[in-house]
Structure 1
């Protein structure tokens, strides 16, 4: 890792550093044990570090301390129990305990969209930093991981200066996360890059030591982990820039789906053709319902808001259209449903009273139980408002979906959801749905009609099994 720093900086490599605690390796804390903080805390304990996960939510901490991850992420429960048993990992609600223990404190709290606008709500960042700083009794490094507006790191420095004694020399750094839900354990243990924004060689050396386990694992697997050492502003911009690019690519192919629907083209073949161009690539070119979750939607909005504050709003005007395209794909499914069921339209849109619709999928993506800003759940809600009898099934997200949308019916199995349905909508690309037997499902429904909201089904198989198939951006019944 030292050589990676040399490759990105015109300075000598950070010298080995003794952690302020006197421990052999830096002791790490992760403040905020939601999806981000809990995953990092567990995985860094697996890498051999002594770790405390902190949260003000006592119920969440009790669950984690008892060996139960409060969300679905493949493989994480086993790692949690293993590292609790090893003694390397524990959880706390006590700022004083965290301050006394840690050398490097990672801020992993949520930064939701503000209720009064598009910007990020930083109240949880402020609470975590202030609560920690006022309990520090020795030098430490506070590292932001949460996705934040550019300029936040300097504001955090001001919070530290306000709440921590100046003689301690507490420093701040920023190191954005790049987790993908459903693949988060691999993303922590085997990241495709590490980005750190620092102001001093000491901070760089501490982060070097804090990531030594990641680099050591990579060396045993004959891999390299690129490391970019940069300034605060660039480190803060990396995550939102990556999310903006990804959102733009997804919305681009969905815009092409709109054109294909108007022109009679097939967006799946279009995507395949342009994906062969190495300048474009084929990842994230599957047209469908678009993106959702707790990151992309709120992050691109916060990015626009911050750019406006900086006087650079014109540069990100295109993200507004990216957002609009993404929202339009949800309403497209409801219009397809009305067309396939031969229903009319009223002043409020499609009228689906009396139709039973099976919705397969509630989470915003497969291999997760996250329903935040889920396109699938948004469509289910709109179908219900249009009068349909909606039956929802999801392999992992039912409990969260029921809390977010209590006004539809939830079923325990896919078979229960589709039984008696006039229309089936596949809205999250779980493997269970992709590999379902269309002939067997056809025996359960009232009408063999399917909307493939993720273009994830083998259309030809469904058509051969007697289904009326509609994909997103594809000609009617096209296999």
Structure 2
């Protein structure tokens, strides 16, 4: 098949590579540097599997700035455009998705369109009515930054949503699910074809549940630290219960990244006319955790606090909405001198805070070093390090 993919971020590029193993894929982006990198078989994002597949696999993959031609010729189009949460409107900013849909309609494409961008509940239903000539489905992604292609090769599930009144798209939904299965290494993959609003709900409720789990173990850690208890022992003891499990329970400075902060806020916005307590609580719990960390550090009266990495997890070069940024803002408000060590950032400052690439100087001049996740870089000054990473894993 001829497949076009709009966007070369984690979602778009991982899907492009997965499908390019067996089909002719054109990845569309508006940034020339990213297009050139993909065509040189270089990854514009940090992801070990993406980097390996680009270098060593026989892929039918090209990247282009010419979306018109790509969409006009495609039989299948995947939209993987960013949808950031807008705090002013209280909803995802879906303008990039709508711009691509308008472009697809303008070039009179007959392709099956799959939205993979994260969107509000009910969005696909509304947008399919606005573009009645387009065949639009929604398929949520469940990918981790830094492991996006791995999560496509070994997916937890494949879900495809069909808008009400568009039941004729069922064969297309089945086709897309089969394409994703074809590219995967995992063989027994659960597949669910449902309504588009249900599929959107699965995405937002799944990520919010993960956020609840993060916030819950962080609040256990806050309590234990305040009361002089051993957090690790408490969490380990809880984890022996198979209903709780020993996974996704490592305390942190808060949940961050591209998905959890915005998805929890969007779900809360979807609850505007529905009684709820827990969804609002998890959003507030994340802010409480960051405030607690900042207050605790300030109580130690440091002369200078070093921030070790703006990224929040190992194997990722992305620090969008990382929790450490909220802590930095709170420490700045307290008048504490800060310095950031972030080797991937090609700037002298970040949000008014000096940035250094000199690890040795960073370690020497910082009284306290905040590290969301421990690293061998900090072993020589481990007595200076403040982290809540108890199990040395994400």
TM-score, normalised with respect to structure 2: 0.89
Q: 1:377 aligns with which of 325, 328, 345?
A: 325
What count of residue pairs does the alignment treat as equivalent?
391
Give, in angstroms, the shift of residue 106 of structure 1. 1.0
Give, in angstroms, the shift of residue 407 of structure 1. 2.2
Q: 1:271 aligns with which of 219, 230, 235?
A: 235
Give, in angstroms, the shift of residue 432 of structure 1. 3.3
Q: 1:450 aligns with which of 382, 385, 390?
A: 385
2:61 alignment counterpart: 89
Q: 1:366 aligns with which of 290, 314, 323?
A: 314
Give, in angstroms, the shift of residue 384 of structure 1. 4.3
1:33 alignment counterpart: 8
The DSSP-based 3-state class of the residue aligned with 1:408 is strand
Moved more, 193-202 or 105-114: 193-202
Alignment partner of 1:423 is 2:368 = yes
Q: CA RMSD in A?
A: 2.6
- After TM superposition, the structure 1 = structure 2 runs for residues 332-343 of structure 1, keeping only pairs within 5 Å, are 332-340=292-300, 343=301
1:112 alignment counterpart: 84
Q: Equivalents in 2 of 1:202, 1:430: separation in Å?
A: 52
Give, in angstroms, the shift of residue 148 of structure 1. 0.8
- In structure 2, relative to structure 1, the CA distance for the partners of 1:421 and 1:58 (3 Å cut) is closer
Q: Equivalents in 2 of 1:213, 1:259: separation in Å?
A: 47
Q: Equivalents in 2 of 1:403, 1:390: separation in Å?
A: 11
- In structure 2, relative to structure 1, the CA distance for the partners of 1:92 and 1:28 (3 Å cut) is same
Q: 2:156 aligns with which of 187, 192, 213?
A: 192
2:354 alignment counterpart: 408
Alignment partner of 1:203 is 2:169 = yes
Q: Equivalents in 2 of 1:67, 1:127: separation in Å?
A: 28
Q: Equivalents in 1 of 2:168, 2:248: separation in Å?
A: 39
Q: Equivalents in 1 of 2:105, 2:95: separation in Å?
A: 15
1:215 alignment counterpart: 181
8 Å CA contact retained: 1:96, 1:136: no
Give, in angstroms, the shift of residue 227 of structure 1. 0.4
1:280 alignment counterpart: 244
8 Å CA contact retained: 2:22, 2:183: no
Q: Equivalents in 1 of 2:73, 2:31: separation in Å?
A: 20
The DSSP-based 3-state class of the residue aligned with 1:239 is helix
Q: Equivalents in 2 of 1:179, 1:457: separation in Å?
A: 21
How big is each residue's C-alpha offset from its partner over 1:280-312, in whole Å with a ceiling of 9 and x where there is no partner?
Answer: 22222222211101111111111111221xx22
- In structure 2, relative to structure 1, the CA distance for the partners of 1:75 and 1:402 (3 Å cut) is farther
Q: Determine which structure has more spread, i.e. the larger CA radius of gyration.
A: 1
8 Å CA contact retained: 1:190, 1:214: no
Q: 1:54 aligns with which of 28, 37, 49?
A: 28
How big is each residue's C-alpha offset from its partner over 1:88-124, in whole Å with a ceiling of 9 and x where there is no partner?
Answer: 1112222321222211111111111124133111111
How big is each residue's C-alpha offset from its partner over 1:356-410, in whole Å with a ceiling of 9 and x where there is no partner?
Answer: 2222221132211111111223333443453444232246x434x8675352232
Q: Equivalents in 1 of 2:352, 2:43: separation in Å?
A: 24
Q: 2:286 aligns with which of 320, 326, 330?
A: 326
- After TM superposition, the structure 1 = structure 2 runs for residues 290-369 of structure 1, keeping only pairs within 5 Å, are 290-308=254-272, 311-312=273-274, 314-315=275-276, 317-340=277-300, 343=301, 355-369=303-317
Q: 1:441 aligns with which of 381, 387, 393?
A: 381
Q: Equivalents in 2 of 1:275, 1:453: separation in Å?
A: 18
2:104 alignment counterpart: 132
How big is each residue's C-alpha offset from its partner over 1:140-184, in whole Å with a ceiling of 9 and x where there is no partner?
Answer: 2111111111111112212322xx4xxxxx411111000101211
Q: Equivalents in 1 of 2:24, 2:374: separation in Å?
A: 36
8 Å CA contact retained: 2:177, 2:191: no
Q: Equivalents in 2 of 1:405, 1:129: separation in Å?
A: 35
Alignment partner of 1:245 is 2:209 = yes
8 Å CA contact retained: 2:342, 2:355: no
- In structure 2, relative to structure 1, the CA distance for the partners of 1:307 and 1:382 (3 Å cut) is closer
Q: Equivalents in 1 of 2:162, 2:44: separation in Å?
A: 33
Q: Equivalents in 2 of 1:217, 1:50: separation in Å?
A: 13
Q: Equivalents in 1 of 2:349, 2:210: separation in Å?
A: 29
Q: Equivalents in 1 of 2:243, 2:305: separation in Å?
A: 41
Q: 1:256 aligns with which of 210, 220, 233?
A: 220
Q: Equivalents in 2 of 1:57, 1:208: separation in Å?
A: 33
The DSSP-based 3-state class of the residue aligned with 2:318 is coil
2:376 alignment counterpart: 432
- In structure 2, relative to structure 1, the CA distance for the partners of 1:398 and 1:385 (3 Å cut) is farther
